Structure 1
Amino acid sequence: MKLIFKYLGHYKGWCLLDFLSVFGFALTELGIPTLMAKMIDGGVMKNDTGYIHKMWLTILIISFIGVTGIILLGYCCARISSNVTADMRSDVFARAQSFSDTEFGKFGVSSMITRTNNDAFQVQMFLNMLLRTALMTPVMLVASYVMILYASVKLSLIVAATIPIIVLGVVIVARLSKPISEKQQDSQDGMNRITRENLTGIRVVRAFTNDKYEEKRFAGENEQYASCSKKMFLLMQLTQPAFFLIMNIASVLIYWRGAQLLGIGQLQIGQLTAFVVYLFHAMMSTMLFCTVFMMYPRAAVSAHRIQQVLDTVPLVRDPVGGLQMQKPVRDLTFDHVTFVYPDGDEPVLQDVSFSVRVGQTIAFVGSTGSGKSTLVNLIPRFYDVTGGSIQINGTDIREYSLSSLRGAMGFIPQKAFLFHGTIADNIRFGKEDASKEEVEHAAKVAQAYDFIMEKPGGFDETIEENSVNTSGGQRQRLSIARAVVRQPQIYVFDDSFSALDFRTDANLRRALHSETQNAIVAIVAQRVSTILDADCIVVLNEGKVVGMGTHQQLLRTCPIYYEIAASQLTEAELQESAGEGGNAE
């Protein structure tokens, strides 16, 4: 409820209008029975035609006010609930944009989708019902019971006796529905996760003929969700008839007692008619109020899941009063950097130190799991170092604003990702206002221009969902073009050449060399041929630096690097690239 009231505060004017429309509706629903009673007892019974016409005119005017009120109530409820939900989704999405990889790992992508869409929808449905009833129900309840007392004190005792029974029923339903709602939303997360994995990895599923296994896995989660839903629907469906039964019993008792009072002259026909209408409104208002309470547990679970996202403070945060990076960037330094993943025990990187200046290329090699990708992910602060510091121009990168830091970089991830849209749009993702000439130049540098022009739409060709109409090498080259077009001060290539053939790789490195003369280039590579000309190569093994130098120096001084090079190059190529001085064997 705290989350809902927080957002409702942004729409105080509409809430006030909603509240006023309730009074218009209440005036109609409660005023008309009173007028009808007076017309029956004071007009019909006395055959006073003029009085009857006067009362009918009054009823018509009040009915018009009531219709206006109920239309306005529906409009206000729809507008407020829709806007609140839109604001909520926007805030969740914005908070997700600030999350580091740690927070995404904590929640999971599928759960984040559920929280943004389904959970927000559950809150919207509850809020819409709340706005319709939370304001209307108290007014109708109080007014109805006042009118019931006014019509007949003796009959009102029957109504009063039903209230504790209904309240007890509401409490029981709320307690039973909360754990079911929690399981239901967890199952929704599970179904989203399985669906996302299956659709993303459909080729793997088919290649290993595991269709039946995936169907079974989804069916299990789907059955759990269906089971929770059936329990919830059953609970709700049993509750409504039970409340109607109580209402009907109360109505029978009122008619029975009312007939007795009519017989002894303590009640008039018009009063009894009005009393029954008041009873209906009182009972229906109570039921609506109960419906809100029955919806509350599931909405509370959804609101809590949304609140968890909004309350999560990212580990990587924008510093207050963050510095703007002074350009040009002169140097990048790792000063005794150590890093441990938030959920890990052992350091992934230990005491890593090096420095690279503008115009230089530094490369990182090592066996799988040696910490290469982790190292370059620290540069744009996807994670923060556990110990030591990373400095640009002598200033710790944690002192720069995130937008300034990342704005100076062109990051090409290990897994190339393209967005749905045109090829030009994907390249312009690196620089929104890039001209046509800049886009084409970036594509040429990335060796993507030729295959782009071979496509029917050229740069206007649409990239389909999951980039199914591009190959792995094409995706990598477009990702590189996206970084080139922004002309960054620091290029970070996280194994971004792995899908390229040797010829394209060589042409791309040649084109990049002239493009990056005034920038720092950091490369994670598996191919030794990609980094032969690097100014400095850092060899990592189990998170530690075991060698540092040029290709020729490392062949002579670092056995691990020599093993890597020997596994990829021929003996003649090794001897040629090593030059004078032998090797590390």
Structure 2
Amino acid sequence: MQAIKQLGRYLGPYKLFTLIAPLLMVLEVTMDLLQPTIMQHMIDTGIANGDNPYVLKMFVWMLVSSVLGLFGGIGCSYYSSKAAIHFASDVRQSLYEKMMTYSAKERDNFTTGKLITILTSDVESIQRAFMMTLRIFVRGPLLFIGAVIIVFVTARELFSILLIIVPMLIIAMYFFTKYSGVLYRRVQEAIDGVNTKLQENLAGIRVIKAFRRETQQIEQFSKHNDALTKRFITAEQIVGVLIPFTMFVVNLGIVAALWLGAIKVEAGTLQVGVILAFINYLTIILNGLMSSSMVLMQIARAIPSGERIIDVLNKEVTVKEAENALATPIHGAIDFQNVSYRYYETAEDVLKNITFSVKAGQTIGLIGKTGSGKSTLVKLLPRLFDPTSGEIHLDGKPIKSYALSTLREHIGFTSQKALLFSGKIEKNIRVGKENATTKEIQKALDAACATEFVERLDKGIAHELSQGATNLSGGQKQRLALSRALIRQPAILVLDDTTSALDSASEKHVQQAIHEQYQNTTTFIVASKIASIQQADVILVLEDGEIVGQGTHQELLQNNKSYQAIYASQQKAGEQS
């Protein structure tokens, strides 16, 4: 319930709608409760005495009450829908904004599949619960209470039947509502598993096909799907028992009313219209309890969803912005001081006591075996995550003292996997600089050696990319990702194995363009080939998360065994090829 209470603050802008909707529902319920009483008077007073004008009068009253009830019902539906949908939209927006602040640690903690489920299924669940509360949870109790009061006043001879039926129905409602919350929590967890597996398989579909693992992956997905199916069936079957059970109890009440009513009519203590009105009110009581139980079960289902949503919103972000954060221009002098990093608390450090200094405008090459920590090191620069220990200084100030927006605006970053978004090529490049001119876009494309293939496309920079840019080759995606980083003329440029899919001529063109056009940019080049970093001002050799060599190409060739071994192996491979 604490989660639902915390989510209540999102109702603030829609308080008027949440007030109007129940009031209109009160109008509809009042009109519905009047109908059996009007009908009772029509039968006992009008039809029994042959008073046609009175019958006509009652008919008009029934028609008026029906129209007023229709107005109330439509109005309630309109305003409750508006409030619930806007409420859910605001929650969804807050969730997305919060997720955008997460570092890799927070995302891994929840898993992508679970975050997708929370953003979609869980938000939809609380939206439905809120809408049903405004529409039905007002209607149900009012129908129930109103019908009970009217029966007590107008058909007291039959009221004893309610004293037996109503407690049975309330106990059944309590049991099913309480149990449904537990069941649907398990359902949501099963949906997490399905979404996680689906997202993973769709992202890796090419690998699955290349290794012919379709059958195995289908079997694994089937396990998650079967688990979800079993939990859903269990939940729906148990909840589904409530409706037949309540109908059975109400039918017993109708039979008892007819039997007891017949005895009293024969004794002359009860009129036929009263029995008919009682049966109608009994049906109204059933509807009131049934609708209330449906809402309670939806609320019980929404509570776990609300708790999961609040978990995401309240999750403490590890990468935080300092108070009074700096928004000053960045030049690019960088100093690592005993920096270590581990991905999980129980894991080993993947970076160990990294210490080095870089002057603004220098080019730094990073080389080492796979898993040596090169990519992890450069990801610390834009604070995709923070060091476990040690400090990084930028222009003589702690990197954490800068506003995140300022820091990242001054960094052009390309990751190992070139990620492009669906949409036009131009739109993807403008991610680096939203207000870039056509001339600046062309310059960035030229520097990244991308102009040649872009001009061959039907629409040039207006060419539409598919999701994940699957309609481009790996090298083409790398060049566009590089263009996106270069267009912002960054103070710091990070190239994480960016030219691995380029041929030698294209790679040399890119290196020359960066050297000539970005002389004041501090450039980090992560590479697996020495040729890619040979001209760097400083080369860092990493091994098992530690710097085992530091210097220029010539210096490392003379005095660093690890670098010599890499150079020798690549020279030998070049000779063999």
With structure 2 as the length reference, what TM-score do the two structures score? 0.95
Kept in 2: contact 1:527–1:568 (CA 8 A): yes
Q: Distance in 1 between matches of 2:127 and 2:256?
A: 39
Q: Spell out the pairing of 1:359-398 with structure 2 (5 A cutoff).
A: 359-398=361-400
Q: Distance in 1 between matches of 2:344 and 2:226?
A: 35
Q: CA deviation at 1:3?
A: 4.7
Q: Distance in 2 between matches of 1:247 and 1:7?
A: 39
Kept in 1: contact 2:337–2:391 (CA 8 A): yes
1:275 to 265, 274, 278: 278
Once the two structures are superposed, residues 508-544 of structure 1 have per-residue CA deviations (whole angstroms, 9 ceiling, x without a partner) of 1001111211111112111111111111111122222
Structure 1 gap ranges (5+): 574-585
Query: 2:247 maps to what in 1?
Result: 244
Which one-letter code corresponds to 2:11 in the other structure?
L
Which one-letter code corresponds to 1:565 in the other structure?
Y
1:472 to 474, 481, 484: 474
Q: Distance in 2 between matches of 1:490 and 1:560?
A: 27
Once the two structures are superposed, residues 147-199 of structure 1 have per-residue CA deviations (whole angstroms, 9 ceiling, x without a partner) of 11111223122112222222222232234333432332222222222222222
Alignment of 1:86 with 2:85, yes or no, is: no
Deviates more, 1:30-39 or 1:85-94: 30-39
Once the two structures are superposed, residues 84-111 of structure 1 have per-residue CA deviations (whole angstroms, 9 ceiling, x without a partner) of 2211211111110010110111111111
Which one-letter code corresponds to 1:403 in the other structure?
S
Once the two structures are superposed, residues 318-366 of structure 1 have per-residue CA deviations (whole angstroms, 9 ceiling, x without a partner) of 2233221x22515111122122223443222222111112221112112
Kept in 1: contact 2:140–2:290 (CA 8 A): no
Query: 2:13 maps to what in 1?
Result: 10
RMSD: 1.8
Q: Secondary structure of 1:568's match?
A: helix
Q: Spell out the pairing of 1:131-530 with structure 2 (5 A cutoff).
A: 131-324=134-327, 326-530=328-532
Query: 2:58 maps to what in 1?
Result: 55
Kept in 1: contact 2:180–2:239 (CA 8 A): no
Which one-letter code corresponds to 1:240 in the other structure?
I
Q: Distance in 2 between matches of 1:461 and 1:67?
A: 53
Which one-letter code corresponds to 1:352 in the other structure?
I
Q: CA deviation at 1:412?
A: 0.6
Q: Distance in 1 between matches of 2:352 and 2:471?
A: 41
Deviates more, 1:476-485 or 1:209-218: 209-218
Once the two structures are superposed, residues 67-96 of structure 1 have per-residue CA deviations (whole angstroms, 9 ceiling, x without a partner) of 100111121222222212211211111110
Kept in 2: contact 1:258–1:272 (CA 8 A): yes
Which one-letter code corresponds to 1:551 in the other structure?
H
Deviates more, 1:264-273 or 1:479-488: 264-273
2:547 to 545, 548, 553: 545
Q: Distance in 2 between matches of 1:473 and 1:179?
A: 51
Alignment of 1:71 with 2:69, yes or no, is: no
Q: Secondary structure of 1:567's match?
A: helix
Which one-letter code corresponds to 1:370 in the other structure?
S
Which one-letter code corresponds to 1:176 in the other structure?
Y
Q: Secondary structure of 2:207's match?
A: helix
Deviates more, 1:275-284 or 1:502-511: 275-284
Q: Secondary structure of 2:433's match?
A: coil
Q: Distance in 1 between matches of 2:39 and 2:463?
A: 71
Q: Secondary structure of 1:304's match?
A: helix
- Counterparts in 2 of 1:227 and 1:454: CA distance versus 1, 3 Å: same
Q: CA deviation at 1:377?
A: 0.7
Q: Distance in 1 between matches of 2:532 and 2:201?
A: 35
Once the two structures are superposed, residues 489-523 of structure 1 have per-residue CA deviations (whole angstroms, 9 ceiling, x without a partner) of 11011111111111111111001111211111112
Query: 1:582 maps to what in 2?
Result: none
Which one-letter code corresponds to 2:85 in the other structure?
S
Q: CA deviation at 1:401?
A: 1.2
Q: Distance in 2 between matches of 1:110 and 1:571?
A: 42
- Counterparts in 2 of 1:9 and 1:382: CA distance versus 1, 3 Å: same
Q: Distance in 1 between matches of 2:525 and 2:169?
A: 69
Q: Secondary structure of 1:389's match?
A: strand
- Counterparts in 2 of 1:322 and 1:342: CA distance versus 1, 3 Å: farther
Deviates more, 1:12-21 or 1:116-125: 116-125
Q: Distance in 2 between matches of 1:414 and 1:127?
A: 44
Deviates more, 1:371-380 or 1:357-366: 357-366
Q: Distance in 1 between matches of 2:108 and 2:509?
A: 38
Once the two structures are superposed, residues 467-503 of structure 1 have per-residue CA deviations (whole angstroms, 9 ceiling, x without a partner) of 1111111111100100111111110111111111111
Q: CA deviation at 1:570?
A: 5.6
Once the two structures are superposed, residues 419-468 of structure 1 have per-residue CA deviations (whole angstroms, 9 ceiling, x without a partner) of 00111111111111111111111000000000111112211111112211
Q: CA deviation at 1:567?
A: 1.4
Moved over 6 A (4+): none
Q: Secondary structure of 2:472's match?
A: coil
Q: Distance in 1 between matches of 2:384 and 2:274?
A: 74
Structure 2 gap ranges (5+): none
Q: CA deviation at 1:367?
A: 1.6
Q: Distance in 1 between matches of 2:24 and 2:484?
A: 54
Deviates more, 1:129-138 or 1:430-439: 129-138
2:126 to 112, 120, 123: 123
Q: Distance in 1 between matches of 2:430 and 2:464?
A: 14
- Counterparts in 2 of 1:213 and 1:502: CA distance versus 1, 3 Å: same
Q: Distance in 2 between matches of 1:572 and 1:127?
A: 67
Which one-letter code corresponds to 2:503 in the other structure?
D
- Counterparts in 2 of 1:528 and 1:484: CA distance versus 1, 3 Å: same
Deviates more, 1:327-336 or 1:307-316: 327-336
Count of aligned pairs between the two proteins: 572
Kept in 2: contact 1:3–1:303 (CA 8 A): no
Kept in 1: contact 2:433–2:488 (CA 8 A): yes
Q: Distance in 2 between matches of 1:291 and 1:571?
A: 71
Q: Secondary structure of 2:229's match?
A: helix
1:112 to 108, 111, 115: 115
Q: CA deviation at 1:22?
A: 1.1
Alignment of 1:103 with 2:137, yes or no, is: no
Q: Secondary structure of 1:569's match?
A: helix
Q: Secondary structure of 2:241's match?
A: helix
Q: Distance in 2 between matches of 1:35 and 1:225?
A: 50
